[in-house]
Amino acid sequence: MRLLVGLGNPGPEYERHRHNVGFMAVDDIHRRYGFGPWKKRFQGFVAEGLVGAEKCFLLKPQTFMNLSGQSVGEAMRFYKLIPDQVIVFHDELDVAPSRIRVKQGGGHGGHNGLRSMDDHIGKDYWRVRIGIGHPGDKDRVHGWVLGNFAKADESWLPKLLDALTGELATLVKGEPEKYASRVASLTQPPKPPKAPKPPKPDAPV
């Protein structure tokens, strides 16, 4: 059994924010695998379904980002889960756009959702870090994460969400390295075609 958590802020005004890409991922999982209806529980929305042969619960905390751990902790206690059974999808400034990193444990890196989760359930849960890139200036970070994805991001965002949800069965059955590798291979930009070789000069007569 797995608890798949998407991090984000509730409300239509936040839907397209970079900070809400965790919600986007979980919504994509919900659609792709035909999960049951969303139900209001654990200070969030929960849905139940299967990913491959694995029973999974989706959770979107509705507490706002900096209190996400309250919702996740309640769900874990109810389902009698340990942190190793929890997979969290969240935005990551220090990963390039269109890339992901998968890891268990580690620091929160200033991410308020992860900080709250660390406080409530410890650090040994799994993280799927979805790259949103860095604006290049720390003074612009707040507006970057709480801003909408740009039109240019449409060239990679749908493809990335499709890959990370489509390959999810590999992750939930406990193969994180294979999962990350598969997602990377599916989201690599196509290699540019090789330039044609110049014709050989005519031999002198």
**Residues recognised as catalytic:** 19
Among 2, 196, 205, 189, CA closest to 97: 189
**Contact 166/116 with Cβ under 8 angstroms?**
no
Among 103, 100, 109, 104, CA closest to 123: 104
Spatial distance between the Cα atoms of 111 and 68, rounded to a whole number of angstroms: 11
Q: Is 21 helix (H, G, I), strand (E, B) or coil?
A: helix
Q: How far is CA 156 from CA 72, 86, 99, 143, in A?
A: 29, 26, 9, 21
Spatial distance between the Cα atoms of 22 and 104, rounded to a whole number of angstroms: 17
Count of Cβ atoms closer than 10 Å to residue 48 Cβ: 13
Cβ-proximal residues to 129 (8 Å cutoff; 6+ apart), any chain: 90, 92, 95, 100, 101, 102, 103
**Contact 96/156 with Cβ under 8 angstroms?**
no
